[in-house]
Structure 1
């Protein structure tokens, strides 16, 4: 399937997983991981997980349990060691956007075009509705009673 792990990916991830619990048989880790990745990549709710991945509660509970145990961190670290360039993240809070990122020309400013800079409304201010009442529509309403 589209979101399922390849044999190569599974080979890197499998050694990072916790050993099988004693007692009851654990659901197939690869199938559960494929279900977790399906939900995370597609953005669907856990309850809408296709049945081929098993019960959605099993998949969700495994996701949460492994998060608490630090299993996901181990998986990411193993992937990073195997392929350092594949795990790159950008924190957009640290990268200010330039005016040109919104389509402005270089050196283009509102003042250069003879326009006044626009100011946004103060936080919490209620914007006035942009409505024009027609005199004919008011007269029509008054005459129809």
Structure 2
């Protein structure tokens, strides 16, 4: 077993959830070896063609990662591990929300653009399916995971993407969202919290509501606070100085001051530490993938490893 490969205990937790049959009824190559190959690439950031021979043909590892990123297998494995942790009472539901910008490599640009499959009817939202020559007929609806386009935004330094995440009190990502790098943080609070869904083992609906939400001043908008109150979620978000002045100028129409617990706010560092753990994987710290769903699969796999090893 190489450094960074799945241990026997980690493999035992994942083996029962993995797909049994391959494409068109064939047999998969050894799952453990292929997953270790994907982990090696995510951890080191090497090109797929430079994978060591002990992981088998690089095309097999590459195509398996793209397929499982597209069909939601990585997300399914993450949900299964989260469900087991929640059943054991090992999730701290004081959730912190933040984002981090990721520089995209020059090879991440230039993805082939495809036209919508059909002309949308009036009042119907256009489809954003992306055809993938590697996966054949398998397609991806990017809006199902909150993605539009390939999530590449321009900045002075070049292309960037942004990872929005919600982390539990033990510095583990609960939900992930990918946007172009120039998107603001505040409008993404609601979408990223909507992604929080931890299944129950046995009977019951998935848990989607945190006990408490912590965020910095970028998320202090009236819309976000109304959304949290409507869902019955207590929150600790500091108020910006300009908003405070505007409330004072409005007098009695400005409403009551927002509550702020300074001691509880100190716990917000958990999301910063979760980001540091994610960016410990070099293929996460720099985006090399052209397709947004493939990069999201890379980030999801890194989050899965964090859950397995924390």
The TM-score bracket by the shorter chain reads 0.5 to 0.7
- Per the alignment, do residues 90 and 24 of structure 1 end up closer, same or farther by CA in structure 2, a change over 3 Å counting? closer
Displacement of 1:26: 2.1
Displacement of 1:3: 1.5
Displacement of 1:90: 9.4
Partner of 1:38: 40
After the TM superposition, which residues 23-34 of structure 1 pair with which residues of structure 2 at under 5 Å, given as runs? 23-34=25-36
- Per the alignment, do residues 15 and 62 of structure 1 end up closer, same or farther by CA in structure 2, a change over 3 Å counting? same
Could you say which structure has the greater relative contact order, defined with CA pairs below 8 angstroms and 6 or more residues apart? 2
Q: Relative to structure 2, which stretch is displaced further, 71-80 or 32-41?
A: 71-80
Partner of 2:18: 17
Displacement of 1:11: 1.2
After the TM superposition, which residues 26-105 of structure 1 pair with which residues of structure 2 at under 5 Å, given as runs? 26-83=28-85, 84=91, 85=170, 87-88=172-173, 93=185, 95=216
More strand by share: 2
Q: After TM superposition, what 4+ stretches of structure 1 lie above 4 angstroms from structure 2? A: 93-97
- Per the alignment, do residues 36 and 58 of structure 1 end up closer, same or farther by CA in structure 2, a change over 3 Å counting? same
- Per the alignment, do residues 86 and 96 of structure 1 end up closer, same or farther by CA in structure 2, a change over 3 Å counting? closer
For residues 41 and 72 of structure 2, the distance between their equivalents in structure 1, rounded to whole angstroms, comes to 20
- Per the alignment, do residues 68 and 90 of structure 1 end up closer, same or farther by CA in structure 2, a change over 3 Å counting? closer
Q: Tell me the secondary structure at the aligned position of residue 173 of structure 2.
A: coil
Using the size of structure 2 for normalisation, the TM-score is 0.28
Unaligned 5+ segments in structure 2 are 86-90, 92-169, 177-184, 186-214, 219-310
- Per the alignment, do residues 49 and 89 of structure 1 end up closer, same or farther by CA in structure 2, a change over 3 Å counting? same
Aligned residues: 97
Displacement of 1:13: 1.3
More helix by share: 1
C-alpha deviations, 1:44-74, integer Å up to 9, x for none? 1111100000011000000001111110001
Between structure 1 and structure 2, the one with the greater Rg is: 1
- Per the alignment, do residues 3 and 17 of structure 1 end up closer, same or farther by CA in structure 2, a change over 3 Å counting? same
Using the size of structure 1 for normalisation, the TM-score is 0.57
- Per the alignment, do residues 43 and 96 of structure 1 end up closer, same or farther by CA in structure 2, a change over 3 Å counting? farther
Q: Tell me the secondary structure at the aligned position of residue 16 of structure 2.
A: helix
Unaligned 5+ segments in structure 1 are 98-145
